[in-house]
């Protein structure tokens, strides 16, 4: 253990097993030019997501404003209600057209057919970290939750996403051996803030984490492996909220359908915010 990222979780962490998880699973980036890095930035023809988010916020709170100023208009109670209104379904909120475009773009990039996992579209909201320090997940891999294995992710900027706030990733870490990281088990709980996360946190590592922000621009998406170490994406903008879209994709076949059923069983047991 050389690099400690979350000292308060040291007593709860353990060294990962001697295995590379992606070698056992479906690697959806295998036919792409960004297999080695684990991520790529690709074009998206349409992006009408600001209108969608504005309408949902107005529906829940009755407030209308520039999305970048979300943190100055929305109370913590309203923020929780907005988060709990998600995920959006591609069959709702007039999202079917966007869902079809995303599935087409990602399938083309991967060279094989995929579908939106469980029909879920998530909007992530990260207020300025100097004011709200708990709006983002700790460093993690999504696949510590087993039902997210065999998938691929996208990050789509909506507003406030720039070199100071966009998603951070560790290039190439999807190919790291698990015995190079120390992680929590059964999620992570930060006593200092009272914040709980469903996914395990990477507490320490044998390698340094040189996280980068690929920072996709307008009408672009970041396509990346959920086996990559990512998260810990603090928003260092002084007075701008970052809002982004997160969508996962699974093989469009019987295997994908079975994995979705496993996920739905988890949702029945989960306690939300």
Distances (CA, A) of 213 to 13, 45, 49, 93, 221: 26, 22, 21, 30, 13
Does the pLDDT value for residue 129 go beyond 80? yes
Candidates 3.40.50.150, 2.70.150.10, 3.20.20.10, 2.60.120.620; correct CATH number of 3-269?
Answer: 2.60.120.620
**Banded pLDDT at 91 (limits 50, 70, 90):** confident
pLDDT score of 273:
45
Q: What is the pLDDT of residues 17-67, one digit of tens each?
A: 999 999 999 999 999 999 999 999 999 876 678 888 999 999 999 999 999
Task: Note the pLDDT of residue 156.
Answer: 95
Q: Which residue in 52, 114, 111, 108 sits closest to 85, CA to CA?
A: 52
Average pLDDT of the segment spanning 86-107? 89
Whole-number pLDDT of residue 51 = 87
Section 1-26 average pLDDT: 93
Mean pLDDT of the chain: 92
Query: Is it the case that residue 234 has pLDDT exceeding 60?
Result: yes
Sorted by where each begins, the domain ranges of the chain are 3-269
pLDDT for residue 44: 85
The pLDDT of residue 92 is: 77
Residue at token pair 């404003």: 65
Integer Cα distance of 135 and 132 in angstroms: 6
Read off the pLDDT of each residue in 196-217 and give the average, rounded to a whole number: 94
Q: What is the pLDDT of residues 184-197, one digit of tens each?
A: 999 999 998 888 88
- Overall average pLDDT of the 72-88 stretch: 95
Q: Could you give the dihedral angle defined by the CA atoms of residues 118, 101, 242 and 223, in that order, rounded to the nearest 10 degrees?
A: 80
pLDDT score recorded for residue 270: 63
Q: Please give the backbone phi and psi of residue 203, each rounded to the nearest 5 degrees, phi first.
A: -80, -40
Range name among 48-52, 99-103, 176-180 with the lowest pLDDT average: 48-52
Return the higher-pLDDT residue of 235 and 147: 235
Q: Is the pLDDT of residue 266 over 90?
A: no
Q: Give the residue with greater pLDDT, 75 vs 2.
A: 75
What band does 239 get if pLDDT is binned at 50, 70 and 90? very high
């Amino acid at each position: 253990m050389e690099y400690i990222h979350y000292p308060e979780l040291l007593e709860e962490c353990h060294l990962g097993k001697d295995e590379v998880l992606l070698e056992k699973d479906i690697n959806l980036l295998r036919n792409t030019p960004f297999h080695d890095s684990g991520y790529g930035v690709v074009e998206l023809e349409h992006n009408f997501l600001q209108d969608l988010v504005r309408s949902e916020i107005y529906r829940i709170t009755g407030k209308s404003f520039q999305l970048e100023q979300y943190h100055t208009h929305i109370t913590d109670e309203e923020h929780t209600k907005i988060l709990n209104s998600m995920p959006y379904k591609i069959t709702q909120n007039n999202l079917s057209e966007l869902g079809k475009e995303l599935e087409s773009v990602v399938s083309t990039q991967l060279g094989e057919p995929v579908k939106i996992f469980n029909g879920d579209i998530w909007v992530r909201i990260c207020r300025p970290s100097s004011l709200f320090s708990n709006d983002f997940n700790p460093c993690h891999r999504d696949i510590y939750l087993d039902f997210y294995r065999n998938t691929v992710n996208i990050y789509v900027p909506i507003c406030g996403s720039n070199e100071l706030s966009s998603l951070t990733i560790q290039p190439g870490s999807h190919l790291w051996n698990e015995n190079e990281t120390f992680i929590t088990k059964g999620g992570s709980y930060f006593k200092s803030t009272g914040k709980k996360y469903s996914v395990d946190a990477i507490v320490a590592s044998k390698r340094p984490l040189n996280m980068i922000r690929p920072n996709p621009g307008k009408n672009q998406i970041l396509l990346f492996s959920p086996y990559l170490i990512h998260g810990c994406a603090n928003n260092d903008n002084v007075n701008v909220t970052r809002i982004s879209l997160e969508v996962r994709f699974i093989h469009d076949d019987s295997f994908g359908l079975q994995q979705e059923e496993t996920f739905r069983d988890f949702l029945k047991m989960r306690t939300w915010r």
